[in-house]
Amino acid sequence: MKDKLCKPCNEMFTPDRPLQKVCSYKCALVAEREKTAIRHKKEFKAETKRMKEKIKTLTEYLNDAQKEFNKYIRIRDKNKPCISCTTSRPSNQYHAGHYRTTKAASQLRFNEDNCHRQCSQCNNSKSGNVVEYRINLVKKIGRWRVEELENNNQLADWTKEKAIEIKKEYRAKWKALEQ
């Protein structure tokens, strides 16, 4: 049989059996302890992840869903210009800009008509550049749908289950668009 390298002691040895991986019983104990430690570490990580998920707040679930939604919007509008200033420079950073903000109209935070590709200058520096946003939004989706957004004043009733469902839905949507 060919010589093998014993991982615990880094010495070459000639195995006595075909599946032998270590040179001695001492190294076998060391290798087994390492395997056990790795298994315990994986179990600990899984348990920690499960416990963190258990204590997550509704806000954290909504933020996770918002990340997936925003990524979908950025991919959906990838080759389109900024909704507000109509620039499409490759050097710009683009966001998923909401016409009615998530704080002002929480019920519309996952509404695809309410969110479009927007350059960082318009979204951050110009507070959404709302006047230009509205003009171009009317051109894009029509006056009736824009007025429907503006007149939507329902109360948002988010739950953890809805947030998880939305997160899964938009993750699947953006993955489908990427392919």
Q: What is the pLDDT along the chain (179 residues), one digit of tens a residue?
A: 899 999 999 999 999 999 999 999 999 999 999 999 999 999 999 999 999 989 999 999 999 999 999 999 999 999 999 999 999 887 789 999 999 999 999 999 999 999 999 999 999 999 999 999 999 999 999 999 999 999 999 999 999 999 999 999 999 999 999 98
pTM of model > 0.85: no
- Both 26 and 82 in a single domain? no
- Both 139 and 82 in a single domain? yes
How many domains are there within the chain? 2
> Contact at 8 Å (CB) between 82 and 94?
yes
- Both 18 and 98 in a single domain? no
What is the reported pLDDT for 33? 97
- Both 135 and 85 in a single domain? yes
Determine the structural domain holding residue 21 and report its residue range.
Answer: 4-54
- Both 153 and 101 in a single domain? yes
- Both 12 and 69 in a single domain? no
How many Cβ atoms from other residues are within 10 Å of residue 108's Cβ?
22
User: Which residues lie closer than 8 Å to 98 by C-beta, 6 or more apart?
Assistant: 108, 109, 114, 115, 128
Q: Hey, which residues does 4 pair with through a beta bridge?
A: 13
Structure tokens at 66: 């918002």
- Both 45 and 62 in a single domain? no
- Both 150 and 74 in a single domain? yes
**Cα end-to-end distance, the chain, whole Å:** 49
What is the reported pLDDT for 4? 95
- Both 90 and 161 in a single domain? yes
Residue at a domain's end among 54, 73, 91: 54
Alpha carbons within 13 A on the beta-carbon side of 15: 13
